[in-house]
Structures are given as C-alpha cells and as structure tokens.
Structure 1
C-alpha cells in the first residue's frame, strides 16, 4: 500500500478554493471605505485621472503603474476612492488563486488551501489590500510569475515560459522594485521535471519575453531621465559607504513591524515551519525564500525612509512556506499516530489559535474603528495620526458636499488635498485646486496664486491644516474667516477651511 496521504478529489478542493476566494472578496470589500483615503492612494488615483488629461505616460515615470492604469480604464472621475481600492482587491484575488496553485504544485492541495486561509486572515495583508496602494499588487503578480515558472519547468510547451515573462513584466509594471523578482525563472530550474536542457531553454525564453516587453518602458524612463525609485528625493540610496547604517536602522524596525502584524506566536510557528520545509524540500523552499529575502534585503539596504508597507509583498511567500512546513509536520505526526486523517490537526490548531488571538480581533477593529488598530508605530503615524492620513480631510470634504451650494474656488494647501478633491461628489459646485507643495513651507507660487484670485474674484477659499511650519501661513492674510475646523487624532494637525478676502503679504521677490 502507498504511503502517499489520501487526497480528496480535485472538484472537492476546487469548491473549497471558490469558497476561500469569496471569503477573501467579502472580508476585503466589507466596510471598504472605513479608513479615510491616505495621501499615496490619492496620488495614484490623481495620476490615473491624468491618463485622460494629457499625461498618459506619467504613471510609468512613477514606477507604480499597473493598478492606476486599471483604475484609469474604469473612468476614475466618479467614485475614485472606492474604484481604486476595488482594483487592488481584484488583483489580490488573482494573487490568492495562484498562491493556492503554487502550494498545490509544490506539495498538495492541502498546502494551497492552508496558504489561502492564512492569506485571508493575515492582518498585514488585510490592512494593505483594502487601500489603493501598489505593494500588494506587486506580490500578487510575482506569485503568478512563480506559478507559471513552476509550470514551465514541468510542461515543455513554450507558452508557459511566455506567460512567466509576461508575469514578470506585470510585476515590474505594478512597481518597479519588482525587478527583484527577475531570478524566479532561474531558481525554478532546480525544481523542474523536464530535461535540464529544456529547463534552461524555458528560463531563457521567459527572460527574453520579459526583456522584449520591458524594453520600451525602460527606454522611455531612461530617455526622460526619470527617477521612479526616489533617489533624487532622498527616499532611497545606493551609497555603499552608508550601507551598514541603513541596514542597522531598518532591520530592527522591520522585525518590530512583523511582530505587530503577526504576533510572536505566529512568528515562532513560521520559523519552525520554515526549518521543516527547508529540511524536507530544500529547492522548493529556496524558490519561496528567495522571494522573501531578495525584496526585503533590497529594502533594508537602500531605504532612507522606511515605509512599512514595503514589507507587505513578502507576506504571501512567508505564508506559503509556513503552510508547506505545517502540512508536512502535520502529515508526519499523522504517520507517527497511524491516523492519516489527523494530518489536519496541527495546521488547524495553529490557524485557530492565531485567528482567535490575532486575526479576528484585528479585522473586527478595522471594520469598526481603524484608528484603534494595533498597528506598528510607523504605520499608525502614517495612516492614522499624521498629515498624510485622511482623517479630518474626509470630514472637510463631507462638509463641502453638504453645505456648499454655490460655485466656489478653493486652493488646497493641506498636504493630502487630493483626497479631499476625490471625496467631492461629481456634481460638486466646489472647484478644489491642489497645487504642488513644499512641505517645508513658503510656497511663494501658491501664495501668489491665492493673491491673484483674491484680486480677480474678491475672495478665495482655502483648505489648510495646522502644521509647523505651515505650507502657507494663513495668518498673513487679512480678512480671513474660518468657516469650519475638523480635528484629527491626538488633537494635532487640525484641518481648517478659510475664506480669504484680502492680503497684506508683500509681493514675492524674483
């Protein structure tokens, strides 16, 4: 009799996968707009609108193009905040489905099923997949690339390699740092089942397809001297002399962030499962580990300003290797006990403990009050309490939607101005202009524009916020009237609406 564990029919697992996909969609879409729109979400959606306003290639210059282009295709001028987040959820569905397929192809449907379940429940992925950000979309397409790479090493037909190359291109289009996933076809060579010569041919073909697809984009970026990785603005650095400083600063922050999202219990389980997976399946595990180590390593080495969402693309691969190790340990335990059906006991126990103690409370809080979420300090600052958050901004937009019935022009000098603009209803009488701002203050061109509009129209409205230094100091204008104020978390950076009728600011010097 074979020692291979009994596997349920494919149709049984397909039904479970469909149920899990529906659960994913339900958990992500329910109360989707509870958390206000974050600064970068508004930026992506504004650039999606620019596709229709004479800047169709600007998204390529940002290095974050796929999700905004999809939003642009769906006409992002009505309901843009909801539309942008739905696009990310849809790409997440693709990622979840192919993660199941990767787990199935590397081991069994059991690993695919457990991976999908853990993915749905992971607080880190739950949080970021409900925002119009691009990081999780990159990992979803990277997962597709891994799946097609596995398939092309087991099926010699050329179109699997072409699909892998396409997947890599879409990964890079999602976010340019997806270049760190380019070794996928090479690493997949070691888990192939076709002859070695065929494996190398498939890997080369996948990379050639990627190169052909990526060449026009890379040529365009080079021709305009674009900086999609943010080196010129100090977001990243490749200076080797400060490499150790960046790594020593970033790694502890990364570890604390993962502890906040996963909890110590799950991190310990992940380490144990990883060891089990590596011992039992070294090459398969190596393929997954590379998709964790390479992107995270690049972030740790280059990030001058570490935004913790950069870590979220590693989570699906962490979950995959955790599921692989847990199922293998569970099956080993079942063999020892001579009860094959008990393979599920260990994975189920781990999943239930984690769901009850970490995942379910996080998700319930996110639906009820995102401001109360137990986020890492960096994420709490960025999305809840600081000026890039949408708190106060959303309330200001709601006020304008309710109270303003006559046409007005408003200049937004709050840094998250575009979120307010996107929250305005399609037939709003408010024309909200969001100029480029220097967060450090001054902004003489904006001041000059305000003065010119006051001179021409007699008055102008301004959306601002308490900030030191202010982007534009409203106190320097005579005749200012505060119309409304909207508090933020911790009582700082209050959002305010002013009506200005005169100014005593001296003319700006040339």
Structure 2
C-alpha cells in the first residue's frame, strides 16, 4: 500500500504550478520602458546610489534586483525577483482561504488567480505594480494572525514589516495601511478589544520604525519621495475629479474584457454574488476592501495617467471573494451538480488559458486594449520590441560596436537585452550634448545612432548632421520602428 500524501502536498503542488506558469518563457515579452529603468537603478545601488527610484516612489523592487548582482541575464533575474515575492503572496492566499473560508474556497481562489490574464500578464513583468497584490495578501494574512487569531506579538511585527515593504515597493501602497484597521474592525471581539488595539498599534509602530530610516535618508538628499509624482497623476478639483472619473469608467469595460475575458468574468460575477450572500466575515471584508480600493484608484487618477496595472491589488481580494462563493455553492450542491459546475468553470477558463499560452509563445498577438496597453507593451515606443531585435542582431556579429541613443529609455532597454559579455556597447548622448552640425565628443565614425520613429522624427533636424540609414527594425503592426544610422558631421 502506498504512503498517504500529507495534507500539505496538494497545496505545495499548487504553489509549484503557479511558479511554473509564471516562470515559463519569462523573456518572451521584451523589456517595457519601466523595466529598463528599474534594471539600471538596481545596478546603481552597487555604485552607492540606492535611492534613484525614490522620486518615483519605488524602491523595494530595485533593492531586490540589486541583490542579484552581477546581473548576468539581468532582465530575467529582475523578473524572477518579483516572482519570488509573488509566490509568497500566492502561498498566503492559499493559507488565508483555507483557514478562513475552507478548502474548496482555496482551490477556486488559487485557480482563478492562476489563470486570470490580468494577474498573469503583469506578474511576469519587473514593474512595481507586479508585486503589490502579493504584498497586500501578505499584509492581510499576517494581519489576520495578529488581530483576528490572537497570535503572538511577533505576528504584529511581521505585519508591520510587510506593510513597510509594501510602501517601499510603491508609494501609493500607503492605502494598504487601512487593512490592519479594517481587520480589527471586522473581527472585533469585545472581550479582548484591548489586546486587539495593542496589536494594531504594534503593527503601525513596527511599520513606522522600519520606514523612518529610509525617510530620514531621503530627506537628507532632498528627495520628494514620489509625493510630487503621486500628486501630479491625480485630479486637483472636484470638477476635474468628476470629469476624469467618468472618462476612466467609460474605458474600464474594454480593459476588463481584455484582461478577464467575458466567460471568466461572468463566472466570477456569479461567485462574487454568492460570496457576498454567504455573509461570511472574510467575504464581506474582501468585497468592501476591493470596492473601496477600486473607487480610490479610479477617482484619484486622470484618464491620461490611468493604467490597468494599477488595479492589480484588488485581484487577490476578488479571488478570495470568488472562493467564498464557490464554498457556498458547492457545499449546497449534489455530487452531480458539483461536476456540472466544474465543467462550466473549465469552459469559462478556456479563453483565459489561451491568453496565458499566447504570453508564452507570441505575446505580440495578445488581445490587449488598443490604448494604452497594446501601444505601451507591444506596438509603441515604450515597448521593447524592435530594440530586442537590434540587440540580438548586433551582438550576433561578435564584433566591437558602439550604439548611441539620444534618450535614457532606449539606452536602458537596449542594455537590458544585450547578452552578458557582449562586445556591443550602448551609450546615451542626450540632445543637449550635440552641437548643431557636429557629433558629441568621443563619437567615432563607426558608431551607430539609434532613433525610435515616429517619436524621433524631428531629431535629425535638431542634430543638424547628415544621417544615412543602415537598418530598420519594425515593431508588431509597424506602428513604430527603430532605425540605426551612420552619422556624418555637417560640412
């Protein structure tokens, strides 16, 4: 007779499956502009410049990337660093669902988050938003232990540390500070309210103590810590808030249809309704927290600055709510009805699974919304397409060569795609370094100039030099392209 599997084995298998799904063909999508910047900032940490991302309110991802020095395969390592945080968040989701909702709820919540295109697409990127859902889940998990389960003081410290990490990952994650308070409110026990209050204060004290040294260091270097950027992204008057909120709300259906797929959204909607109808504390908590976060993001953004990845933190909450609904429906259903519901769920997941497979083999074919997502990640100049092709072809020549860019973003992404030890050198020479009719100091006749069109269409006239095209590399759908030029100074 074979050995009985331990109860934890299926959950460990789920974690390994999440890891494989997220890790498989991780470099299929080329570097987005924010990823190139984050990789460069991680390298600067080793030059005693650890706070370069502070002006954007993003530090944790940079420090995690810096820990992977010497950056051989830098982009892959940077994305893996984010996935290490993500897998911890997924484990916390499983533990929370099992403890507070039930085993069936944990299975459904994990399955939904595993195949959900919105989560899958962004968690495979090295952007600050990618780790926010995991950090929110970890704060929730540890906060429940500290406040609802009445565990030791150590859990309060752990929750405070995770809250501090969330704020360091992205400044707008300050809203996560409401989670411990909401937990204490929802799971309030009159008999031990003093103990709960003490634990709540310990959580916030631990977070402040850990954030204080960073705040002092940033104050000394006169950093705005990202508050200026956060303020500039939002509306400033009530009238502007109403107008911008209306624009964002009108754009949401397209984003939801792309990143959820309609069959999966309909199924999830039914499960959310059942979860709220169950009136379990965890279900009501997740429903309220997700709705509050969604309203906050939508009303504090402008149409031109809103990104679908800003909504990532609501995903684990919605997954838990769906799990609560599944627990209620499956618990009241017969075995035959359970089988039928399972088959319907598998059918609803098919378009989402097709999305996942495209990220592995052909991300340029992903059915993203035309703007800004498809433009940012695939067809427009913020995308790494074309730049990756430039890096691969030039590195394949196995000869020394210098490529000059006029903007930081192109330089950072070109560097991110150059293989470790490549003889190709990428250099940035901003427009201010060029004098009309002459090349910048140090530029050699064999050096190539890289321009990104149509964004850089006006640059040749600004430089005042002769340019002869060497090679052009197109992005998908040919909406934008990168051209390498030989440069001849004006006579």
Taking structure 2 as the reference length, the TM-score comes to 0.90
**Structure 1 residue 74 corresponds to structure 2 residue 61:** no
Measure how far apart 1:370 and its partner are. Answer: 0.7
The higher relative CO (CA closer than 8 Å, separation ≥ 6) is in 2
Measure how far apart 1:295 and its partner are. Answer: 3.1
| Alpha-carbon displacement from aligned partner over 1:139-161 (angstroms, at most 9, x marks no partner) | 10110110111111212411111
1:354 to 330, 348, 353: 348
1:42–1:233 CA distance, 2 compared to 1 (3 A) = farther
2:128 to 120, 131, 134: 134
**Structure 1 residue 178 corresponds to structure 2 residue 173:** yes
Measure how far apart 1:267 and its partner are. Answer: 2.4
| Alpha-carbon displacement from aligned partner over 1:335-384 (angstroms, at most 9, x marks no partner) | xxxxxx5685466234312222x222111222221111111223111101
Q: Is the contact between residue 406 and residue 429 of structure 1 (CA under 8 Å) also seen in structure 2? A: yes
Structure-2 separation of matches of 1:455 and 1:167? 47
Measure how far apart 1:429 and its partner are. Answer: 2.6
What is aligned with 2:279? Answer: 281
**Structure 1 residue 463 corresponds to structure 2 residue 453:** no
Structure-2 separation of matches of 1:154 and 1:425? 50
What is aligned with 2:295? Answer: 297
1:277–1:449 CA distance, 2 compared to 1 (3 A) = farther
What is aligned with 1:200? Answer: 197
| Alpha-carbon displacement from aligned partner over 1:238-287 (angstroms, at most 9, x marks no partner) | 44341111211112222321122212333233333223222323532232
1:370 to 353, 363, 385: 363
Q: How does 1:45-56 map to 2 (within 5 A)?
A: 45-56=39-50
Q: How does 1:148-187 map to 2 (within 5 A)?
A: 148-152=142-146, 153-187=148-182
1:381–1:468 CA distance, 2 compared to 1 (3 A) = closer
Q: Is the contact between residue 67 and residue 88 of structure 1 (CA under 8 Å) also seen in structure 2? A: yes
**Structure 1 residue 421 corresponds to structure 2 residue 422:** no
What is aligned with 2:187? Answer: 191
Structure-2 separation of matches of 1:396 and 1:474? 24
**Structure 1 residue 143 corresponds to structure 2 residue 143:** no
- Three-state SS of the structure 1 residue aligned to 2:224 is coil
Q: Is the contact between residue 414 and residue 465 of structure 1 (CA under 8 Å) also seen in structure 2? A: no
Structure-2 separation of matches of 1:308 and 1:21? 26
- Three-state SS of the structure 1 residue aligned to 2:118 is helix
What is aligned with 2:482? Answer: 495
Measure how far apart 1:75 and its partner are. Answer: 0.8
Measure how far apart 1:96 and its partner are. Answer: 0.7
Measure how far apart 1:76 and its partner are. Answer: 5.2
Structure-1 separation of matches of 2:61 and 2:393? 30
Q: Is the contact between residue 181 and residue 291 of structure 1 (CA under 8 Å) also seen in structure 2? A: no
Structure-2 separation of matches of 1:21 and 1:381? 33
Q: Is the contact between residue 114 and residue 323 of structure 1 (CA under 8 Å) also seen in structure 2? A: yes
Q: Which moved more, 1:274-283 or 1:66-75?
A: 274-283
| Alpha-carbon displacement from aligned partner over 1:287-310 (angstroms, at most 9, x marks no partner) | 223442333223212222112111
Q: Which moved more, 1:93-102 or 1:62-71?
A: 62-71
1:447–1:206 CA distance, 2 compared to 1 (3 A) = same
1:93–1:350 CA distance, 2 compared to 1 (3 A) = farther
Structure-2 separation of matches of 1:232 and 1:328? 40
Q: How does 1:428-507 map to 2 (within 5 A)?
A: 428-434=422-428, 443=431, 445-448=432-435, 451-453=438-440, 457-458=444-445, 460-468=447-455, 470=457, 472-473=459-460, 477-503=464-490
What is aligned with 1:41? Answer: 35
Structure-2 separation of matches of 1:299 and 1:73? 31
**Structure 1 residue 325 corresponds to structure 2 residue 325:** yes
1:269–1:409 CA distance, 2 compared to 1 (3 A) = closer
Structure-2 separation of matches of 1:347 and 1:135? 33
Q: Is the contact between residue 104 and residue 327 of structure 2 (CA under 8 Å) also seen in structure 1? A: yes
Q: How does 1:195-274 map to 2 (within 5 A)?
A: 195-221=192-218, 224-226=222-224, 228-229=226-227, 231=229, 234-274=232-272
What is aligned with 1:314? Answer: 314
Measure how far apart 1:476 and its partner are. Answer: 5.2
- Three-state SS of the structure 2 residue aligned to 1:448 is coil
Measure how far apart 1:399 and its partner are. Answer: 1.6
Taking structure 1 as the reference length, the TM-score comes to 0.87
Q: Is the contact between residue 158 and residue 202 of structure 1 (CA under 8 Å) also seen in structure 2? A: yes
For these two proteins, the number of residue pairs brought into alignment is 481
- Three-state SS of the structure 2 residue aligned to 1:74 is coil
Q: Is the contact between residue 76 and residue 83 of structure 1 (CA under 8 Å) also seen in structure 2? A: no
Measure how far apart 1:175 and its partner are. Answer: 1.1
Structure-1 separation of matches of 2:296 and 2:428? 34
Measure how far apart 1:57 and its partner are. Answer: 1.8
Structure-2 separation of matches of 1:407 and 1:195? 70
Superposition CA RMSD, Å: 2.6
Structure-2 separation of matches of 1:29 and 1:57? 28
1:392 to 386, 394, 403: 386
Q: Which moved more, 1:308-317 or 1:451-460?
A: 451-460
Structure-1 separation of matches of 2:116 and 2:443? 54
Q: Which moved more, 1:76-85 or 1:425-434?
A: 425-434
Unaligned runs of 5+ in 2: none
